[in-house]
């Protein structure tokens, strides 16, 4: 048990100066690691990508024939050909002497090699230019992307600031909306209270209208009763009038209207001009009698009272008769008051003979 734990600890501990091989996971020194990695990799199977790369390299090597010994010598001689030509064969005299002693076919072959090398260099230069243009385009695109990223970053910062401002505005609007909702709820409660009060007022108004209608009906009944009383009075006074006419009008002195009659007539005209419809009607029925003659009116005093009750309205009609001059006032008041007792009295006043 102890040995297994020690071995696991030894495996996990990495010694200084030891590098682990990525293929076999074994520790090697830094100097021998590169050699071991190549050998270890040749023992392992190739991956698909490595197999394709190896196949391409082997194919290119097969298509390209190996240079001959003469070509290698000529390449070595002409290695500094540009420098030799430009420096006027002063920097490399040995190569210049060798070139001068070469035969014609080697010179031709050397020239062909130089031409091929030049073409190869031109192709490589062209490929390098293409790569440079491609890299320049990529660099421009990268710069354009960088500018776009900068502009996007600026727009993002602006949008973030605007978003913060919009959030503040939305919070303020939310607070205003809450206040408006509270005011609306308060107004709704006030509206409900007013509606309830309106219903109550409506019921009260209907009750008052019913009372007014009942008072109007009582008024109409009172008018009819007063008209009937006036008719009966006229019928009762007709025999006295006939007696007066029979006695003659020569013995009856002319009587001027009294002050009370003038005041009552003036009041009647004033109220008729102010209140034309619900006016105060004063009807005076005076029964004059001759001086020194006895009136046929009975000597006893009578009081006739008629009480009509309708809801809260009381109508009282009083008539007083005396053996002297009879004056009857019929007072008709407008029935506009509510929940009050309206008392209508018709009084007969006794006037002394002047």
SS3 of the chain: CHHHHHHHHHHHCCCCCEEECCCCCCEEEHHHHHHHHHHHHHHCCCCHHHHHHHHHHHHHHHHCCCCCHHHHHHHHHHHHHHHHHHCCCCCCHHHHHHHHHCCHHHHHHHHHHHHHHHHHHHHHHHHHHHHHHHHHHHHHHHHHHHHHHHHHHHHHHHHHHHHHHHHHHHHHHHHHHHHHHHHHHHHHHHHHHHHHHHHHHHHHHHHHHHHHHHHHHHHHHHHHHHHHHHHHHHHHHHHHHHHHHHHCCCCCCCCCCCHHHHHHHHHHHHHHHHCCCCCCEEEEEEECCCCCCCCCCCCCCCEEEEEEEECCEEEEEEEECCCCCEEEEEEECCCCCCCCCCCCCCCCCCCCCC
Residues spanned by the domain of 23: 14-123
CA 310 to CA 214: how far, in whole Å? Answer: 7
With cut-offs at 50, 70 and 90, classify the pLDDT of residue 168.
very high
CA 329 to CA 229: how far, in whole Å? Answer: 12
Residue 96 placed within a domain = yes
Give per-residue pLDDT as tens, 254-284.
455 666 666 666 666 665 554 444 433 334 4
CA 32 to CA 240: how far, in whole Å? Answer: 169
CA 330 to CA 334: how far, in whole Å? Answer: 13
With cut-offs at 50, 70 and 90, classify the pLDDT of residue 82.
low
Give per-residue pLDDT as tens, 193-227.
999 999 999 999 998 999 999 999 988 888 888 88
Residue 231 placed within a domain = no
Residue 351 placed within a domain = no
Query: Domains in the chain: how many in total?
Result: 1
Give per-residue pLDDT as tens, 86-101.
555 555 667 667 777 7
Residue 324 placed within a domain = no
Residue 41 placed within a domain = yes
Contacts of 43 (CB under 8 A, 6+ apart): none
Dihedral angle of Cα 164, 169, 170, 172, to the nearest 10 degrees: 130
- Compute the average pLDDT of residues 335-347: 40
Residue 50 placed within a domain = yes
Residue 282 placed within a domain = no
Q: Which burial class, exposed, middle or buried, applies to 77 when counting CB atoms under 10 A from its CB (0-12, 13-18, 19+)? A: buried
Q: How many CB atoms lie within 10 A of CB 70?
A: 13
Cβ(63)–Cβ(52) under 8 Å? Answer: no
Has this prediction a pTM greater than 0.95?
Answer: no
Give per-residue pLDDT as tens, 279-335.
333 344 444 444 444 444 443 333 333 333 343 333 333 333 343 333 333 333 344
CA 276 to CA 280: how far, in whole Å? Answer: 9
Residue 241 placed within a domain = no
CA 343 to CA 315: how far, in whole Å? Answer: 5
């Amino acid at each position: 048990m102890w040995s297994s734990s020690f071995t696991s600890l030894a495996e996990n501990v990495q010694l200084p100066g030891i590098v682990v091989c990525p293929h076999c996971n074994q520790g090697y020194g830094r100097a021998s690691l590169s050699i071991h990695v190549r050998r270890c990799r040749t023992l392992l199977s190739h991956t698909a990508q490595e197999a394709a790369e190896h196949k391409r390299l082997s194919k290119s090597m097969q298509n390209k024939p190996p240079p001959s010994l003469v070509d290698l010598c000529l390449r070595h001689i002409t290695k500094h050909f540009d420098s030799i030509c430009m420096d006027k064969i002063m920097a490399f005299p040995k190569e210049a002497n060798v070139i001068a002693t070469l035969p014609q076919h080697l010179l031709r072959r050397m020239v062909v090699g130089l031409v091929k090398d030049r073409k190869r260099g031109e192709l490589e230069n062209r490929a390098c230019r293409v790569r440079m243009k491609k890299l320049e385009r990529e660099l421009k695109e990268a710069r354009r992307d960088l500018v776009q990223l900068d502009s996007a970053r600026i727009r993002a910062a602006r949008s973030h600031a605007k978003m913060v401002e919009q959030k503040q505005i939305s919070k303020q609007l939310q607070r205003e909306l809450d206040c408006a909702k509270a005011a609306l709820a308060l107004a709704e409660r006030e509206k409900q209270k007013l509606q309830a009060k309106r219903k109550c007022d409506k019921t009260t108004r209907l009750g008052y209208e019913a009372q007014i209608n009942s008072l109007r009906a009582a008024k109409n009944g009172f008018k009819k009763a007063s008209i009937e009383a006036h008719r009966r009075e006229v019928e009762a006074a007709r025999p006295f009038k006939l007696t007066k006419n029979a006695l003659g009008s020569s013995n009856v002195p002319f009587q001027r209207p009294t002050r009370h009659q003038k005041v009552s007539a003036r009041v009647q005209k004033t109220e008729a001009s102010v209140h034309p419809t619900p006016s105060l009607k004063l009807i005076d029925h005076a029964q004059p009698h001759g001086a020194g003659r006895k009136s046929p009116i009975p000597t006893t005093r009578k009081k006739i009272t008629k009480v009509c009750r309708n809801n809260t309205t009381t109508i009282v009609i009083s008539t007083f008769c005396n053996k002297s001059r009879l004056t009857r006032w019929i007072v008709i008041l407008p029935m506009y008051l509510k929940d009050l007792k309206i008392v209508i009295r018709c009084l007969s006043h006794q006037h002394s003979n002047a």
